Structure 1
Amino acid sequence: MKVADYLISSLGEQGVGHIFLDLGGLNDAFMPALTGTSGVRPIVAAFEGGAAYMADGYARAGGGLGVCMGIGGPGVLNMVTPLTAAMTDRTPVLAISGEVARSWEGMGGFQDASGAGIDDISALRAVTGLSVSLSSPAVVPHHLRHAMTHALTQRVPTHISVPVDVQRADIDATWHRIGRDLVSPAIVDERALANLAAALAEPDHQRIVVLAGPGVLHADGTAQLRAFVERFDIPVATTLSGKGLIEEDHPLALGVFGYGGSRWAIDAIRSDDVDVLIVVGSGLSQRDTLQWDPAMLPSKRMAHIDPDPLRIGRTWPSEHAVVANPATALAWLLEFVDAQALDSGRAARRAFLDTVRGRGPRHLRAEDTTSDAVPMHPARAVSELRAAFPDDGVLCVDSGAHRAWFAEYWDVRQPGTHYSLTNLGPMGGAIPLGIGVQLARPQQPLLVATGDGCMLMHGMELHTAAREGIPIVVAVMNNSSYGNIYYRAHAMGPGPERLTDIAGMDWVGFARSVGADGERVEEPTEIAAAVSRALATDGPYLLDLVIDKTHPTPVGPWRQRQREWEDND
């Protein structure tokens, strides 16, 4: 077979059911394989960056590998931002780019991005875990396997460049599927866990709180997390990137800690009454720690469980550093911890949880969710969307002021139904991310929460969803402004504030122009019926929600910590 056929068929055999791409001459040899390989569906995006975001969403929701393709040079370099987002959010994505023939390299050929030309291979090494050229048919099986294994095991994007003459070359090779045991090994440091278990059994270490991050979802460990905290009545908070690892209406759930955090999670973890904080599957980044707030450190011990030792102790040292698969570690603790000793602390943990909850509602400024203001209060709009959307619905959140509103007021009711480009935070990625998620989870309805500024960047991917018949609901939080920037610019005067204006956009008209449908919503009481119509539509449906930009986002504790950090400098 040809190398192009081998690459696509190997991806199909690995379980990749969709490949996201933009077309171009340097990838022409792939087109017969893309359209003729059973089980593989090509999705042509409006923009290479959109294709990479789609691959990211597909990998997150499907638990496997996401694949995107573009030509070398301009095509693959358009993927730099989404690949960087995948890098920071730890998503396994494989980017494939076509390259000029080897005989052209360094000769001034059109779109020569080989190592002797623009060298996009080196450019992508900064934002991927691996970027290599498949410079000969002989090395194709090795480099393909290495790139896919690297992406899946290290949870990073990787990149392979394939010259056009190599694409058309003959190859005789067989693909051997990369197994689950290699991708997510059940590794566990039993000695470190035994030390932690002994500490948890100490009588003065009974007020325990768990802070769970996305590593729990990566390890498919939500069931183990639930079983552990329920067995011993341990309150659990999540980071924003781990939002919904446990249902947010669960009796032990505190909500999100850090940016977009809830009152309960922030009050509980910063309380002096916490004896032991168990961090599972989080790198404790700036936003995961409420601007590196030392008040979150427990009074006696911190445990940090993660499969990557480089993420443990990056922010603060911990008394119990446990290198382990989070799911395996939680299951081990459930089986081997001194249950009688932990049971003796139930009353203390229940009293602590009751005290935290007694200080006020979980949501900050919960009264805003009932506002009748027009233009709509964002908190009311989010609350109405949540009430109208099914419990198993998946939410993909874009970057902007709306991220904070949805973090605070959208309660996740089933684990694994909240996705966001959390760490890099590029604007506009949620629509293509949502397309990838929906293709991996076609049985679940999907809502994309985005803003009008984000729509200007990647709104054209609505055309991709319409052409492919992908049913996503797009809620545009339309404040005619770059909202997050407006808050700062407004304080600078009318000139800077004008820079944030977004005027003259008819988002429903735009949606219809690319083959989607939609409607404008100006009253909060209209949202439920609009969502019902959107969910009954076969393709993409846009809700243009007219909101008021002047309401500050519900991140008061975050803003306070930023002021304290700046003052301490």
Structure 2
Amino acid sequence: MSREIKEEVQLNTAQMLIKCLEAEGVEYIFGIPGEENLEVMNAIADSSIKFITTRHEQGAAFMADVYGRLTGNAGVCLATLGPGATNLVTGVADADSDGAPVVAITGQVGTERMHITSHQFLDLCKMFEPITKRSKQIVRPDTVNEIVRLAFKYAESEKPGACHIDLPVNIAKMPVSIGEKPLEKKIPPKEHADLSTIEDAASEIFKAKNPVILAGSGAVRGNTSKAVTEFATKLKIPVINTMMAKGIIPFDNKYSMWTIGIPQKDYVNKIIEEADLVITVGYDIVEYAPSKWNPKGQTEIVHIDARPSHINKLYQPVVEVVGDISDALYNIMRRTSSKAEPVKALEIKAKMLAEHESYAEDNGFPMKPQRILNDVRKVMGREDIVISDVGAHKMWIARHYNCYEPNTCIISNGFATMGIAIPGAIAAKLINPDKKVLAIAGDGGFMMNDQELETALRIGTPIVVLVFNDNNYGLIKWKQEEQYGKSCYVNFTNPDFVKFAESMHAKGYRVEKAEDLIPTLEEAFKQNVPVVIDCQVDYEENLKLTNHLKEIYGNI
């Protein structure tokens, strides 16, 4: 009797690396090939993973960043050594600050020349160390499975962030011992809060006369929208969200007080200022510092999150409820009673609503940012996705673009990085091909990664990019005018954005009057190629808003 013996194929380190990525469920790698990662590129070509060739490594990092933020699974970006790796830094730092799981992989010189001055050599592990949760170099072929599992474990665990793997070119080619295989991905069970903290939190809420919920990005990552909405609605507690938690409660819910976070004191600041208890839910101090809403450190705080509170002298909770957020909210809700209607907060919301609606028919041109975002909201469906770049428009989006669902308005507000919108929108469209995906960028941010429009065209992700055109770095101009009464060094000229789009085989439209924006957006979303819409914006509204809020704040 004979039996067939199947010989195991011996893999090299690069091949094992890609096998490990497949085991982690990686769908895409965003990046640019380079000489020191040729072995890795060959392994990717023989795998189930799709490699998305970008036009700049920063674009690759931002794509991985937004992929991670929207899916909860680590986005992967790849670059070669030296300048390729340094180009990843901004996007990796953004992911780490904003709590998006990302694994960055870099090529590296061979270990035989790391001890001497070498062409394009940098100590990449040291470089990535301050902007990642873990930064490891593979120096032995038989450790690749452990290092990959380590990177994904820490990237995806709360608070998510970036991890880095560095692979020297000679190690990539070395054989891995037969029998080595990827380590199994294990999802840890949810941890539940201690009952005593649940009861203490319920007691504090019961005693409070004017409580307010401040919901942050951790609430979105924890998929707590349903629990937060039920908690607020049953207990009649107003909910304020940070920029990164838009949609955690539908904006048309009675108790949704919309977004806090612009530099000026706005209507919602008055609501939190008058609270006798702030219930933070998934709140991260990197989003909106405690000094902005608790400057004297006198506000009582109940902290509800998957992690213990940050150390900050202005953020000293009387109770910390640490564990699964939804479970904690439901348990607290069962142990306390509903409050009286928050009359003052509801009155303030009515004023906010009236102010926002007053711009709906404003036909001025250049268009007011309030009218632009009012029109955008009419075109976008409940689950469609806006990716905001960073600039003056981000402040207006925070204030005037309200959401029904979480993760339908992506704002970089931890690291607050210009240039994220176009690559971020490409990742969003890859994940959600059936949803409208709109990138909104200022003309400054647009020009920082506009080359990725070619990537969008090539891989078939027909995103729409709406450019707020004012020939300035508008947010810096706004801050200069607020502080010094004048501006300097912020103005520039722009290309013809319509012709620019057409030169990249995309489509370009120019809004000539306010009434054109909605039909232009509707037409843009019918296209099967990327679209750029050039819209002149009236940023005289920036200082008008500053002065308006100063005038009304004391009387809210």
Q: Is the 8 A contact 2:482 2:543 kept in 1?
A: no
Q: What secondary structure, in the 3-state scheme, does the structure 1 residue paired with 2:358 have?
A: helix
Q: Is the 8 A contact 1:452 1:502 kept in 2?
A: no
The residue that corresponds to 1:58 in the other structure is 67
The residue that corresponds to 1:309 in the other structure is 308
Structure 1 pair 410–223 and aligned structure 2 pair: CA distance change class (3 A): same
Give the letter aligned to residue 81 of structure 2.
G
Post-superposition offset of 1:310: 4.7
The residue that corresponds to 2:226 in the other structure is 223
The residue that corresponds to 2:52 in the other structure is 43
CA distance in 2 between counterparts of 1:54 and 1:558 reads 38
Indicate the larger mover: 66-75 or 311-320.
311-320
Query: Unpaired segments of 5 or more residues in structure 1?
Result: 113-117, 565-569
For 2:400, which of 393, 409, 424 is the aligned residue? 409
The residue that corresponds to 1:329 in the other structure is 328
Counterparts in 2 of 1:112-261, with a 5 A limit? 112=121, 118-153=122-157, 154-171=159-176, 172=178, 173-181=180-188, 185-202=190-207, 205-259=208-262
The residue that corresponds to 2:349 in the other structure is 357
Q: Is the 8 A contact 2:472 2:491 kept in 1?
A: yes
Give the letter aligned to residue 195 of structure 1.
D
For 1:433, which of 424, 431, 446 is the aligned residue? 424
CA deviation profile, 1:61-115 (whole Å, cap 9, x unmatched): 1121111000122111111111111121111110000111222223433222xxx
CA distance in 2 between counterparts of 1:553 and 1:465 reads 36
Q: Is the 8 A contact 2:21 2:148 kept in 1?
A: no
The residue that corresponds to 2:32 in the other structure is 22
Structure 1 pair 63–282 and aligned structure 2 pair: CA distance change class (3 A): same
For 1:530, which of 520, 524, 527 is the aligned residue? 520
Q: Is the 8 A contact 2:465 2:532 kept in 1?
A: yes
CA distance in 2 between counterparts of 1:119 and 1:297 reads 46
Structure 1 pair 415–241 and aligned structure 2 pair: CA distance change class (3 A): closer
The residue that corresponds to 1:379 in the other structure is 370
CA distance in 1 between counterparts of 2:20 and 2:522 reads 41
Q: What secondary structure, in the 3-state scheme, does the structure 2 residue paired with 1:211 have?
A: strand
Post-superposition offset of 1:264: 5.0
Q: Is the 8 A contact 1:384 1:524 kept in 2?
A: no
CA distance in 2 between counterparts of 1:262 and 1:326 reads 29
Q: Is the 8 A contact 2:255 2:346 kept in 1?
A: no
Q: Is the 8 A contact 2:133 2:154 kept in 1?
A: yes
Post-superposition offset of 1:241: 1.6
- Give the alignment's Cα RMSD to 1 decimal: 2.7
* TM-score normalised by L of structure 2: 0.90
CA distance in 2 between counterparts of 1:559 and 1:148 reads 45
> Does 1:91 pair with 2:91?
no
Indicate the larger mover: 121-130 or 433-442.
433-442
Indicate the larger mover: 499-508 or 122-131.
499-508
The residue that corresponds to 1:109 in the other structure is 118
Give the letter aligned to residue 382 of structure 2.
D
CA deviation profile, 1:376-396 (whole Å, cap 9, x unmatched): 112111211211222221111
Post-superposition offset of 1:28: 0.7
Q: What secondary structure, in the 3-state scheme, does the structure 1 residue paired with 2:18 have?
A: helix
CA distance in 1 between counterparts of 2:346 and 2:541 reads 31
CA distance in 2 between counterparts of 1:261 and 1:296 reads 20
The residue that corresponds to 2:284 in the other structure is 283
CA distance in 2 between counterparts of 1:363 and 1:458 reads 37
Query: Unpaired segments of 5 or more residues in structure 2?
Result: 1-10
Structure 1 pair 139–13 and aligned structure 2 pair: CA distance change class (3 A): closer
Q: Is the 8 A contact 2:30 2:53 kept in 1?
A: yes
CA deviation profile, 1:299-348 (whole Å, cap 9, x unmatched): xx3201223325265632121122223233223323x413xxx13x3xx2
Structure 1 pair 560–33 and aligned structure 2 pair: CA distance change class (3 A): farther
Give the letter aligned to residue 322 of structure 1.
V
* TM-score normalised by L of structure 1: 0.88
Give the letter aligned to residue 24 of structure 1.
G
Q: What secondary structure, in the 3-state scheme, does the structure 2 residue paired with 1:291 have?
A: helix
Aligned residues: 540
Indicate the larger mover: 325-334 or 543-552.
325-334
Give the letter aligned to residue 436 of structure 1.
A
Structure 1 pair 238–286 and aligned structure 2 pair: CA distance change class (3 A): closer
CA deviation profile, 1:470-524 (whole Å, cap 9, x unmatched): 1211110111211112234568999954x32221411121122223212111211
CA distance in 2 between counterparts of 1:142 and 1:377 reads 54
CA distance in 2 between counterparts of 1:496 and 1:350 reads 42
Structure 1 pair 495–193 and aligned structure 2 pair: CA distance change class (3 A): closer
Q: What secondary structure, in the 3-state scheme, does the structure 1 residue paired with 2:382 have?
A: coil
Q: Is the 8 A contact 2:242 2:287 kept in 1?
A: no
Q: Is the 8 A contact 1:405 1:554 kept in 2?
A: no
Post-superposition offset of 1:554: 7.5
Post-superposition offset of 1:219: 1.2
Q: What secondary structure, in the 3-state scheme, does the structure 1 residue paired with 2:166 have?
A: strand
CA distance in 2 between counterparts of 1:86 and 1:439 reads 18
Q: Is the 8 A contact 1:263 1:361 kept in 2?
A: no
Post-superposition offset of 1:438: 2.1
CA distance in 1 between counterparts of 2:314 and 2:548 reads 18
Q: Is the 8 A contact 2:291 2:314 kept in 1?
A: no
Give the letter aligned to residue 357 of structure 1.
K
